[in-house]
Each structure stands twice: as C-alpha cells, then as structure tokens.
C-alpha cells in the first residue's frame, strides 16, 4: 500500500501551509505499517469524508490517495474530519 498526502490551507485565501508526503508501507516497521494500514483503509477514509464538516473555512484541506495493487482511491478531507490520532500519524510520516 502506498499513501500519498497533499495538504494545503490558510486564512482568507492566503496559504498558511503546504504538505506533500508519500509513504510505501512495505518499507515501514511492522507497528507503523499496521497503524497506517488501519487508519488509511479506503473504507475508513470514505466514512470520514462523508461526515459533516461544520465550519471548514480557513482550515487545512487534505487530498489523500491510497494505492494498492494498482488500484487507487482518492479522498478530500477537511482538517476537522480527520481524527487526532490520524493527524499524528500524518505528522510521523
């Protein structure tokens, strides 16, 4: 499984931050590989993306693409839709 994350966001249209990370789970220690595989399962990302966002103005937007066996799924999530433990995993990547 390969996870690609691109994020951007800002205040009033001014970009406050950009992020682009790609991680191949095959090259991760077992525990990290397991944590990432569970957190970034396409079904879980689809569930998170379907949650109401509330006030998403001036927040980070994450574009997450998961590729497994030549199949790719992409999801767009707002910062408020992502659980804190998943944000921690993104920081660790």
Give the predicted TM-score (pTM) of the model: 0.85
What range does the domain containing 7 cover?
2-92
Residues 6+ apart with CB under 8 A from 65: 3, 4, 5, 72, 73, 74, 75
Predicted pLDDT of residue 15:
55
Per-residue pLDDT reduced to its tens digit, 43-73? 999 999 999 877 766 678 899 999 999 899 9
Greater confidence, 32 or 18?
32
Task: Specify the number of domains making up the chain.
Answer: 1
- Strands lying side by side in the sheet with 14-24: 14-24, 2-11, 61-68, 71-78
């Amino acid at each position: 499984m390969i996870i690609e994350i691109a994020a951007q966001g800002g205040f009033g249209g001014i970009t406050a931050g950009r992020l682009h990370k790609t991680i191949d789970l095959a090259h991760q220690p077992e525990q990290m590989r397991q944590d990432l595989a569970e957190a970034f399962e396409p079904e879980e990302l689809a569930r998170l993306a379907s949650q109401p966002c509330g006030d998403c103005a001036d927040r980070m937007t994450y574009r997450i693409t998961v590729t497994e066996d030549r199949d790719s799924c992409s999801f767009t999530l707002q910062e408020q839709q992502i659980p804190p433990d998943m944000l921690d995993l993104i920081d660790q990547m």
